Amino acid sequence: STGLMAGKRGLIMGLANDKSIAWGIAKTLADHGAELAFSYQGEALKKRVEPLAASLGKPRLYECDVASEDSMDALFAWLEAEWGTIDFVVHAIGFSDKNELRGRYVETSRANFLMSMDISVYSFTAVCQRASKIMTKGGSLLTLTYYGAEKVMPHYNVMGLCKAALEASVKYIAEDLGKDGIRVNAISAGPIKTLAASGIGDFRYIMKWNELNSPLRRNVTQEEVGKAALYLISDLGSGTTGENLHVDAGYHVVGMKAVDAPDI
Ligand code: NAD
């Protein structure tokens, strides 16, 4: 531990279980001295999330469905009552009907398109709106994205469009809040086996492909995403905003891996 996050308080959104990317980030931030609060979706998750939160300090948990304005208002009112001000928020939330995360994108329904955009894109803007009002000493806002925003990946479909819009919103919000000393960034994580990822068609094959074709020839871990989050959230990242930091074993730079070329 470095004490890099000593005296800093923040909210972690999107913890479902100990495989969640939110958990890799929470552990790292707590290790370096941060005080954490957690929001989780639905009372059913509480019994799983509570012991995890308790293992990192005084458990502060609040139920919040990001699809509801009232629920978001209540979450930030609770945070303000608890702490007055906050220093950071981690948004590790995305959702789409898994029946539309396979097959052809072109078949996507209007209803699922709108729902996916609402939960996976708008919710980050809704978080930034509210969080910035209680970040009186500046702050750092972080979301999670994926390479399927930049290039076509099999089965990612409507989530690819969502992540593209999310990445654009990071840039717009970075400009809006920069004057107040609030930084806004994304981490583009390589494929990691989590609850959300298991809804994506052929996910095991996508992980294998990344392992075989990324420059580091392996996949990344929740802890590696946590270390990058520590950089972006702590003072180490004080000069960085509007950024999309790839933590993907370098996969995004590869056009084609070198192989022994066949005679053609
Ligand atoms: P996860 O299933 O552990 O986390 C997803 C979280 O979103 C869950 O905690 C779930 O409760 C929450 N959520 C969904 N709908 C919600 C709602 N309406 N209100 C509140 N919370 C809601 O999976 P994860 O892979 O850790 O996902 C975290 C983020 O990382 C997502 O944005 C995901 O797209 C992104 N990401 C994941 C990968 C990967 O391979 N796992 C790669 C790149 C980016």
Take residue 144 and report the two structure tokens written for it: 């999670």
- Residue 260, in any domain of the structure: no
Nearest CA to ligand 1 atom 35: 144
| Per-residue b or e along 155-190, where b marks 16 or more CB atoms closer than 10 Å to that residue's CB | bbbbbbbbbebbbebbeebbeebeeeebbbbbbbbb
| CATH number for the domain harbouring residue 231 | 3.40.50.720
- At 52-89, the pLDDT tens digits run 999 999 999 999 999 999 999 999 999 999 999 999 99
Number of domains in the chain: 1
Which structural domain, as residue segments, surrounds residue 234? Answer: 9-250
Pocket flag, ligand 1, residue 119 (CB < 6 Å): yes
Does residue 156 carry a catalytic annotation?
yes
Give kind and range of the element (H or E) at residue 175.
helix 157-178
Is 233 part of a structural domain of the chain? Answer: yes
For 183-241, the pLDDT digits (tens) are 999 999 999 999 999 989 899 999 999 999 999 999 999 999 999 999 999 999 999 99
Å from CA of 9 to ligand 1 middle: 22
On whether residue 264 sits in a domain, the answer given is no
Is 192 annotated as ligand-binding? yes
ipTM over 0.90: yes
The conformation of residue 14, written as its DSSP 8-state character, comes to: -
User: Does some domain include residue 148?
Assistant: yes
Query: Would you say the C-alpha torsion 140, 86, 16, 72 has a positive or negative sign?
Result: negative
Residue 2 lies in a domain: no
This prediction has a pTM of 0.98
Indicate whether 259 belongs to any domain.
Answer: no
Short-list 131, 148, 252, 250, CA closest to 196: 148
Task: Give the start-end residues of each E strand in 93-209.
Answer: 139-145, 182-189
Distance CA 100, CA 134 (A): 37
